[in-house]
Amino acid sequence: MTDEERSYVYWALSDAFVDTEVDYEAIARQTEAYDPEEIKRILYHEVAPVCHTNLETVIPMIWSAFNLENLEKDIKKTLKARNESYFRQKKDKLLIRWLEFRYKYIWLEIAKHYKNSPTLEN
C-alpha cells in the first residue's frame, strides 16, 4: 500500500467515527482491495486512537467527514510519539485493546460487506 493509498484508507475508516449515519458498505468498498487483517489493524492501531474521541463527546466536532490532511497529520504524529516513547507504547497498547472492545461493532459491520468476508469473530 502506498502512502497515498494509506491516507485514503485512513479517511475511509474515519467515516465510522463521524456523528452521522455510517455507511459501512461504502467503507468496505473503499478498503476491500487490501488485506482485511491489515485494514483491521489500521482501524484499531492508527485511525481509532485519533478519531474515537469524536464519538465520546456530548456534541461531536466532526459531523460529516474528517479533514484528510489533518487526519493524516494527526495519525503520523500519534505514530511518531508511540515509536519514540516506551511509556506511550504501553499506554497506547492498553488504549488499542479498549478500542478493539468498545468499537468491535465497527469492524464487524465493515467486514460483513466485504465480498470474501473475513471471519467476523475476530
Q: What is the pLDDT of residues 13-57, one digit of tens each?
A: 999 998 788 999 999 999 999 999 999 999 999 999 999 887 776
Domain assignment present for 42: yes
pLDDT of residue 115: 79
Domains held by the chain: number: 1
Domain assignment present for 119: no
pLDDT of residue 63: 46
Domain assignment present for 40: yes
Whether residue 110 contacts residue 37, with contact meaning beta carbons closer than 8 Å, is answered with no
Domain assignment present for 67: yes
pLDDT of residue 1: 82
Domain assignment present for 18: yes
Domain housing 50? 3-111
Domain assignment present for 122: no
pTM strictly above 0.95: no
Domain assignment present for 52: yes
pLDDT of residue 58: 52
Domain assignment present for 84: yes
Comparing CA positions, the residue from 1, 30, 11, 5 lying closest to residue 72 is: 11
Tell me the C-alpha distance between 25 and 31, whole Å.
10
pLDDT of residue 118: 53
